[in-house]
Amino acid sequence: MFFIKEVFASEFKSFYKNVQGNEGDKCKYSTRLDTYGCGCQHNCDYCYARSLLSFRGFWDAANPRVADIRKVKRKINHLQPGNVIRLGGMTDCFQPCELKHRVTYETILEMNRCRVGYLIVTKSALIAEPEYMDILDKELSHIQITVTCLDNAKAMLYEKCSPPSQRIEAILRLQEAGFDVSIRLSPIIESFMDFEKLNGIGIEKCIIEFLRINPWIKQWLKGVDFSEYTVSQGGYRHLPLSEKIRIVDKIRIPEKTVCEDVTEHYLYWREHVNPNKEDCCNLRIYQGSGV
């Protein structure tokens, strides 16, 4: 038992990982670099990473593990220019402790220097503050800001992130400045989202990802009719494809793409919805940038 726990510890405490299996097979950007790990101060009730790490006793939302920037820089220096690495795979690289430790800030500077692309996934408005916008390289950076609900008070019941209104402002600020930025509706839960308001904001790109539930998420997340989640794959339960299609049709953002876990559903989105069949993140890659 001690050996098994140590194997899991090595797996989930590593700041750099190539994701394998069902998720890695579908994701074009399956290499992740977590500047903070084994806990996230946002502590979202729907978070699959929280459920995985809580189950194994590795989740500490109050005191996330801080990556050693010296090791991070050494790893980046061994990457080939032109790669795109995901920042924020198991935890948020812009969670509040970034203001103290600045590991993400230093990581971005090093990736710029080495000409390695980065896909930032965050629920924080911090990324659109001037000190970060000043260092984001438009030829290397791709930004996805997650929003699950447009009601500030309701969102705070299940996620301890920047208020949705601030995240929306951050998306529009980055979009106006010419960055490759999308709103990430992840997870999209129909009863949580005001679709009319969402469609009227003026956001140009979105990524849609549906809720997947396991016993931990089912225990934490309130206000969801879990009886609708009748499809089973990969240890999670999912909505049927017909329900997903109905919900996606309610989203009128001009450029939309779906990130999917269920293999049959993934094939449907790839063939019928996603603008880029080889890249469900639909990143805007600059020609001549080396990325």
Q: Render pLDDT for 84-117 as a digit per residue (tens, 0 to 9).
A: 999 987 899 999 999 999 999 999 999 999 999 9
Distance in angstroms (rounded) separating the CA atoms of residues 120 and 89 = 9
- Structural contact between residues 248 and 232, judged by C-beta atoms closer than 8 angstroms: no
pLDDT for 287? 63
- pLDDT tens track for 28-52: 898 999 999 888 888 888 887 788 7
pLDDT at position 148 is 97
Residue from 118, 164, 248, 144 nearest 205 by CA: 144
How far is residue 2 from each of residues 8, 58, 207, measured CA to CA in Å? 10, 14, 40
pLDDT on residue 225: 95
- Please give the span between the terminal C-alpha atoms of the chain, in angstroms, as a whole number: 44
Give the pLDDT of residue 48. 79
pLDDT tens for each residue of 178-221: 999 999 999 999 999 999 999 999 999 999 999 999 999 999 99
**What pLDDT score was predicted for residue 1?**
35
CA distance 171 to 66: 26
Mean pLDDT along residues 154-175: 96
Q: What is the predicted pLDDT for the residue at 36?
A: 93
Percent of the chain surpassing pLDDT 90: 76
State how far the Cα of 120 lies from the Cα of 240, in Å rounded to an integer.
Answer: 29
pLDDT of res. 96: 94
Q: Which of 52, 110, 56, 55 is nearest to 81 (CA)?
A: 110
* Domains of the chain with bracketed CATH: 13-272 (3.80.30.30)
Query: pLDDT class for 13, splitting at 50, 70, 90?
Result: low
Average pLDDT, the chain: 90
Q: Enter the pTM of the model.
A: 0.92
List Cα–Cα distances, 43 to 19, 29, 39, 124, 217, in angstroms. 22, 24, 8, 13, 12
At 110 the pLDDT is 98
CB-based contacts of 100: which residues, under 8 Å, 6+ apart? none
